[in-house]
């Protein structure tokens, strides 16, 4: 999954000291840690880089965090290779043009309701929720429910 626009609403608040602040939905966090406990392999591919965001993701159990990416597709391909996954075995959720190539590679391409028009056009699934407002929870809950794990 992507971070900004998916786990966040895409808003960046700039503090007096110049640091960037983001908000994440607690229900997304609960779903992430629950999916990890159920044995799901989760990874993050982000163009950004923040030690605070990374710490939050790690606290939820995400072990595979790829930051400061200009080319998410290359990182995604490498991740799949090292995890011995075919693209068809993956689901990716992204919201903007930087996610487009990964969405095209993934077995299931998911975008938040408020994603960029170009990525919505190629999506297999457009969530009911916007980025940062529970779209990750919606996806994880639906997948786990379909497998009788929720």
Residue 91 lies in a domain: yes
pLDDT band at 19 (very low <50, low <70, confident <90, very high): confident
3 domain residue, yes or no: no
Ordered DSSP codes for 1-32? --STTTTS-S--EE-TTS-EE----HHHHHHH
The pLDDT tens digits for 54-84 are 999 999 999 999 999 999 999 999 999 999 9
Nearest to 32 by CA among 5, 64, 80, 10: 64
Taking 90 as the threshold, does the pLDDT of residue 20 lie above it? no
The model's pLDDT over 79-97, given as tens digits with 9 standing for 90+, comes to: 999 999 999 999 999 999 9
**8 within domain boundaries:** no
User: 4 in a domain, yes or no?
Assistant: no
pLDDT in tens, 33-53: 999 999 999 999 999 988 999
What total of structural domains would you count in the chain?
1
DSSP-assigned letters across all residues of 78-127: HHHHHTT--GGG-EEE--SGGGHHHHHHSSEEEE-TT--HHHHHH-SEE-
């Amino acid at each position: 999954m992507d971070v900004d626009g998916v786990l966040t609403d895409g808003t960046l608040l700039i503090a007096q000291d110049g640091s960037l602040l983001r908000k994440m939905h607690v229900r997304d966090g609960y779903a992430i840690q629950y999916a990890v406990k159920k044995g799901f392999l989760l990874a993050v591919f982000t163009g950004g880089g923040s030690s605070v965001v990374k710490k939050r993701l790690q606290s939820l159990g995400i072990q595979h965090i790829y930051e400061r990416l200009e080319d998410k597709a290359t990182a995604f391909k490498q991740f799949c290779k090292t995890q011995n996954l075919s693209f068809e075995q993956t689901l990716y959720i992204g919201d903007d043009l930087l996610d487009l190539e990964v969405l095209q590679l993934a077995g299931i391409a998911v975008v938040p309701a408020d994603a960029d028009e170009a990525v919505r056009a190629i999506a297999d699934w457009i969530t009911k929720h916007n980025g940062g407002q529970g779209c990750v929870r919606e996806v994880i809950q639906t997948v786990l429910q379909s497998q009788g794990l929720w």
